Chains A and B, each alone.
Chain A
């Protein structure tokens, strides 16, 4: 596989010859000599050099280009919409010329590969790249034109009045047909119609070219009035045919749209049905089996509710590795263990560093204690403010006397107090007849700062 055609940064003038040599796999000096020889042929070498200088990008340009294209590129690769479209929108410029080369070889026309390769690097790369085939067509057209010129030079009489219209018609048809690729791509990539203007323009240009070509071919007399008369006639016929075919076209279009929408709905429905079957229906069956055990039923219902909520309302803007998510997971685990609901309210969020990890573990310990000893619902509140990250774990149980906890019970002392101290935080426990509340506090550091919604608004 050849390296892409790029201007080399270590060339003499603009790196054109060096880049060309790298691309063709020959020595630089040979390319330079070739350029010199071409220059002797009425300055063709200079023209070629200028052409390549303008249109061949440098490696830096190419990097920027592919950087911009990674988004849709990755997407298109994932979708895998056939080779044609793949070569079209997805492949970044570098691979573009290679893909073009391959296509050309498949067509059994290797000579067009360099032409198309050079052409792909051209200024309106943005558009041409989307349909690699178009480059091949263009290359072939150029080769044909060159062949005709050579024939004429060799003394063969060429009927220009025949060739030019044919060429114009062919170009018009190619433009119009290139729509197909465009439409397929647009259907996948964006259905908002942002590309529609370009597509319409291309279609119009194609029609104009074809009509012009046909006209020129027919009115070979060259008379202006006759041409105009033919033009009017042709347009009138076209308009008539369009008028007759319009209802069919419209109907087809509507059917297509309706069918597409139905398919999207069907896919969504199938996905939801599959999820409900895998989760909710199974849990309901389990609940029926365990109907006599209240705690089991409660636990199953809570676990299923949590899972369904996660699926329905999961916040895509939230980082799954964040402190808030971690607390929610811990709350779910405690719920599953003891069957008492543990609800988490989070305001703001923090990245999960080692200190936050310790905070989450301490909070989990507090939740476990609350569920185990208080045996009631537990409320967890996280507030990640600009200065501190605080977690409150509260229950409305009977409370306990902290001084009465035996010294050999390490739960609170080790898992909560010491753990928070080790990470520069603090903890406090307040317990009375109305319940217990554990407060865990951690100073905000650079490392765990997350630009929360609240802070952005401030």
Chain B
């Protein structure tokens, strides 16, 4: 499985290097202060161009990426991911947003972000999320899990590798995350290991990114969930 191979090239010494990309200076400094001691901030950027340059120069493990950014072609966070991917970056992206619109979330996830959290997230939670992303896992907030369930439907299919539907187990995991359970709590609830939960979440992320069903994008543009 893809996730296991990428997990191997994660951070060795336990610290994770990040770049913060956000056009809001107050938020950047607040986030920098909230991150735990195991996180090293290599740089900050406020626009699409700056982000591309800083990420290219510092090669961080994780990029904390605001969904809405000025500059570039107006594509915001999704454009940063596209540009950096084209340059062959190894950084992984965690989307941060105050926006609740499904359109924004789905756009940045489909561009390649490995997680999405809202900006009201607490310091320890964001630190945990960054470490998780760095080790190759996906980070789903309850809201993102809700989007996934709404977009893919709550009926499961038997075929596990179908891109347009979620398997029964994936549905269970998504439901618990949407109900506010952490990965650990979800694992305990389903009597499986956290590692298995991570595998399921990564599989859902892959489906969300690769599913070619045109409804997904249309669904997102139509739907502006609170």
B215 within 8 A of A: yes
Is A345 in contact with B142, judged by CB distance below 8 angstroms? yes
Contacts A313-B224, A315-B225, A394-B180 given: A383-B185 contact, CB under 8 Å? no
Residue among A315, A386, A396, A452 with the most chain B CB within 10 A? A315
Interface SS of chain A: mixed
**Does B127 have its Cβ within 8 Å of any Cβ on chain A?**
no
B101, B143, B151, B185: the one contacting A345 at CB < 8 Å is B143
Contacts of A341 in B (CB 8 A): 120
B149 and A383 within 8 A (CB): yes
A345 touching B154 in the complex, CB below 8 Å, given contacts A313-B99, A328-B226: no
Residues in A246-269 with C-beta less than 8 Å from chain B: none
Residue B100 lies at the interface, judged by CB distance under 8 Å to chain A = yes
- Determine the distance from Cα of A434 to Cα of B154 in the docked complex, in whole angstroms: 27
Q: Which 6 residue pairs across A and B have the least CB separation, nearest first?
A: A379-B180, A345-B146, A454-B153, A381-B179, A347-B149, A392-B179
Q: Do A453 and B224 touch across chains, with their CB atoms under 8 A apart?
A: no
Q: Are A346 and B155 interface neighbours, CB within 8 A?
A: no
Docked Cα-Cα span, A396 to B225, in Å, equals 25
Whole-angstrom distance from the CB of B214 to the nearest CB of chain A?
11
Residue of A nearest to B120 (CB): A341
Report how many A-B pairs have Cβ atoms within 8 Å: 84
- Judged by a CB distance under 8 angstroms, whether B40 is at the interface is no
B145 within 8 Å of A (CB atoms): yes
User: Which B residues lie within 8 Å of A379 (CB)?
Assistant: 142, 179-180
Chain B residues near A328 (CB-CB < 8 A)? 226
Residue A310 at the B interface, CB < 8 A? yes
Would you call B146 and A381 a contact (CB within 8 A)?
yes
Contact of A314 among B152, B154, B226 (CB under 8 A): B226
B150, A309: Cβ atoms closer than 8 Å: no
Residues of B within 8 A of A392 (CB): 179-180
A315 to B146, CA, bound (A): 15
What is the size, in residues, of chain B's interface with A at 8 Å between Cβ atoms?
Answer: 29
- Name B's A-contacting residues (CB within 8 A): 99-101, 120, 142-143, 145-146, 149-155, 175, 178-181, 185, 213, 215, 219, 222-226
Complex formed: what's the CA distance from A313 to B100 in Å? 7
Q: Tell me, rounded to whole Å, the shortest Cβ–Cβ distance linking A39 to chain B.
A: 62
User: In the complex where A310-B226, A314-B224, A315-B225 touch, is A386 in contact with B155 (Cβ < 8 A)?
Assistant: yes
Nearest CB on A from B157, distance (A): 11
Shortest distance between the CB of B140 and any CB in chain A (Å): 11
* Smallest CB separation, A363 vs chain B (Å): 13
Contact of A453 among B145, B155, B178, B219 (CB under 8 A): B219
What chain B residues lie within 8 Å of A345 (beta carbons)? 142-143, 145-146, 178-179
Q: Is A401 an interface residue (CB 8 A)?
A: no
Contact with B along A417-458 (1 / 0, CB 8 A): 000000000000000001001000000000000001111011
Q: Which residues of A contact B213 (CB under 8 A)?
A: 457
Interface core residue of B101, B149, B180, B219 (most chain A CB under 10 Å)? B180
A399 within 8 A of B: no
Q: Residue of B at shortest CB range from A317? A: B222
Max chain A C-beta neighbours (<10 A), residue from B101, B149, B226: B226
With A and B bound together, what is the CA distance between A192 and B38 in angstroms?
A: 56
Chain B minimum-CB-distance residue to A455: B153
List, in ascending order, chain B residues with CB within 8 A of A45's CB. Answer: none
CA A379 to CA B141, docked complex, whole Å: 11
Interface string of A373-396 (1 = CB under 8 A from B): 000000101010110000010101
Quick check: B150 and A348 within 8 Å, CB to CB?
Answer: yes
* With A345-B143, A347-B146: A458-B155 Cβ-Cβ less than 8 Å: yes
